[in-house]
Amino acid sequence: MNLMEKVRNLRIDSYNYPLPDERIAKHPLAEREQCKVLMFKDGDITQHRFHQVPGLLPQDAMLVYNNTRVINARLRFRKPTGSTIEIFCLEPVAPRDYQLIFQTTSQCTWLCLVGNSKRWKSGNLLQQVMVDNQSITVSAARGERRGNAFEITFSWNGNGEVTFASLLEAMGEIPIPPYLNRGTEQSDLTDYQTVYSHIDGSVAAPTAGLHFTDEVLAECDRRGIARRELTLHVGAGTFQPVKSDSIGDHAMHTEFISVSRDLLAELATTQRPVIAVGTTSVRTLESLYYVGQILETNSDATEEELRVTQWMPYSTPCEISVQQSLQNIVDYLDRHGASDYLGSTQLMIAPGYTYRIVKGMITNFHQPQSTLLLLVAAFVGDDNWRGIYDYALGHDFRFLSYGDACLFM
């Protein structure tokens, strides 16, 4: 059996563990940096507090984190009959560019999930909202169906002065994870954002970064740890459970990534161990290797040809070095006069995967039978992940988005 078949035949029930509801943290600690950290290194497990993390990292480390900012992606429209239709913005359609769509001032189209859609039989939904002391009428028109989602076109008045970003701020809600089993609260507006978030686009937080404070980041600087940013806009697919018996029948979601030319050039030459903050940073960094590999044989590849597909690592021979692969992307950007690599990834990391760039990761404790747990198992080893999670369950660690952290080296 080749590697591709082995990975596709992995049974998801082998990555299950008991997670009582009381172990799921419903809110973060009042002081983020006081959460616990489980460190796994060289087969040993130790306990720490998050404010100690800078001292646990190699002094020459490069810390790479995801600067995406969670948008108020959940919108509620009330029909004259009293029914509420919930629209959850997933990704831009027109314009496709995240930055451009937030700047639109009259109309834009998103791919959206629609809750209570059976009660939306025809016509447009209308909602009044106050934006900068203006009463704005927002219309939502349902278009083409794509899988379990719809293209929704939003239009609004406002004399060309009201952006879609300001509409979301005024009428949207932060979409906290469904497994918290509670509604969005005022505190989530700050709790569910990292202190370094500044690029709008995610519908879920890169939660490993929620533990960082300005003081912890400053301590990283004092210790000479390099801090670098990239962007992966987290989609709702991050919550999508694996429903098939084997992971070969699970379709990974596609997410938008952006990495600067400067960071790519640095990664191509650095001797620093790269420590990724969160699984989104892990997937972005590891995807870069395969982008560069495509460019090795197709230097003028189109955006679609550069998309990293789900099974690429298991079906494509890896014949070039990381340095060469990343340099290929730098050269590609230089030929096109671009300062950033913009692309998309569907990468699935599961046991059998060989990590190319990431030497350590900071992450949270993930849901049973999730692709995120598969990613962790691929890093720490199939023989180790269960012992790590058993230890956490036996030592009062808090789980999931608002829970405690892990540091894997």
The DSSP annotation for 22-59 comes to GGB-SS--SSGGGSEEEEEETTEEEEEEGGGHHHHS-T
Q: Which tens digit of pLDDT belongs to each residue from 310-361? A: 999 998 777 899 999 999 999 999 999 999 999 999 999 999 999 999 999 9
Mean pLDDT of 12-41: 96
Percent of the chain past pLDDT 90, that is, above it, reads: 86
> For residue 25, which amino acid is it?
A
Sequence-separated (6 or more) residues with CB below 8 Å from residue 213: 31, 32, 33, 51, 195
For residue 158, what pLDDT is reported?
Answer: 79
Mean pLDDT of 129-134: 90
For residue 239, what pLDDT is reported?
Answer: 63
Q: Are 205 and 401 in contact (CB under 8 A)?
A: yes
Tokens of 81: 């009959």
261-265, 296-300, 317-321, 343-347: least confident range: 317-321
For residue 236, what pLDDT is reported?
Answer: 73
Average confidence score pLDDT of the chain: 94
Mean pLDDT of 181-197: 93
CA 258 to chain centre: 12
Residue 179 scores a pLDDT above 90: no
What is the pTM assigned to this prediction? 0.93
CA 330 to chain centre: 24
Give CA–CA dist 232/52, Å, rounded. 27
Total count of residues recorded for the chain? 409
CATH architecture of 3-69+190-408: 3-Layer(aba) Sandwich (3.40)
Q: 11-27 b/e with 16+ CB inside 10 Å = b?
A: ebeebebebeeebbbbe
For residue 65, what pLDDT is reported?
Answer: 97
Question: Which residue in this structure is represented by tokens 């509620």?
Answer: 76
Q: Are 165 and 32 in contact (CB under 8 A)?
A: no
Residue 283 scores a pLDDT above 90: yes
Q: Are 343 and 233 in contact (CB under 8 A)?
A: no
Q: Which position has the higher pLDDT, 116 or 50?
A: 50
Sign of CA dihedral 331, 265, 64, 319: positive
For residue 45, what pLDDT is reported?
Answer: 98
For residue 253, what pLDDT is reported?
Answer: 83
For residue 43, what pLDDT is reported?
Answer: 93
For residue 280, what pLDDT is reported?
Answer: 95
Instruction: Give the pLDDT band of residue 16 (cuts 50, 70, 90).
Output: very high
For residue 22, what pLDDT is reported?
Answer: 94
Residue 223 scores a pLDDT above 70: yes
Give CA–CA dist 183/336, Å, rounded. 46
Give CA–CA dist 115/240, Å, rounded. 16
For residue 118, what pLDDT is reported?
Answer: 87
For residue 79, what pLDDT is reported?
Answer: 87
Residue 238 scores a pLDDT above 80: no
Q: Which tens digit of pLDDT belongs to each residue from 57-113? A: 999 999 999 999 999 999 999 988 888 999 999 999 999 999 999 999 999 999 999
Q: Are 347 and 307 in contact (CB under 8 A)?
A: no
Domain ranges of the chain: 3-69+190-408, 73-173
